């Protein structure tokens, strides 16, 4: 109940966000918190956050502006 499952962007598995937070397996990037299953995954993300953080943004130079300011 009230569990918050988040996706580990590195290995793709679902993890309990609360447990990850308690274990310090989180990283802040671009205003979002990313959670990881292990230190290895967190370190991999920290090494190159932009490569992973952009995965779900559909970010490209295609010309369509997804943002409305």
Residue whose token pair is 């970010």: 59
Q: Which stretch binds Zn ion (CB under 5 A): 6-14, 27-35, 48-56, 61-69?
A: 6-14
Cβ nearer to Zn ion, comparing 10 with 53: 10
Residues 8-47 that bind Zn ion (CB under 5 A): 8, 10-11, 37, 41
# binding residues, Zn ion (CB under 5 A)? 5
DSSP E strand boundaries for the chain: 5-7, 14-16, 26-29, 32-35
Cβ nearer to Zn ion, comparing 13 with 54: 13
Distance of alpha carbon 66 from alpha carbon 3, whole angstroms = 30
| Three-class secondary structure of residue 27 per DSSP | strand
Cβ nearer to Zn ion, comparing 12 with 62: 12
The site for Zn ion (CB under 5 A) is made up of 8, 10-11, 37, 41
């Amino acid at each position: 109940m009230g569990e918050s499952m988040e996706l580990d962007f590195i290995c793709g598995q679902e993890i309990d966000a609360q447990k990850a937070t308690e274990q310090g397996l989180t990283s802040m990037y671009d205003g979002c918190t990313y959670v990881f299953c292990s230190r290895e995954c967190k370190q991999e993300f920290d090494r190159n956050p932009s490569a992973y953080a952009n995965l779900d943004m559909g970010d490209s130079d295609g010309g369509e502006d997804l943002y409305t300011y």
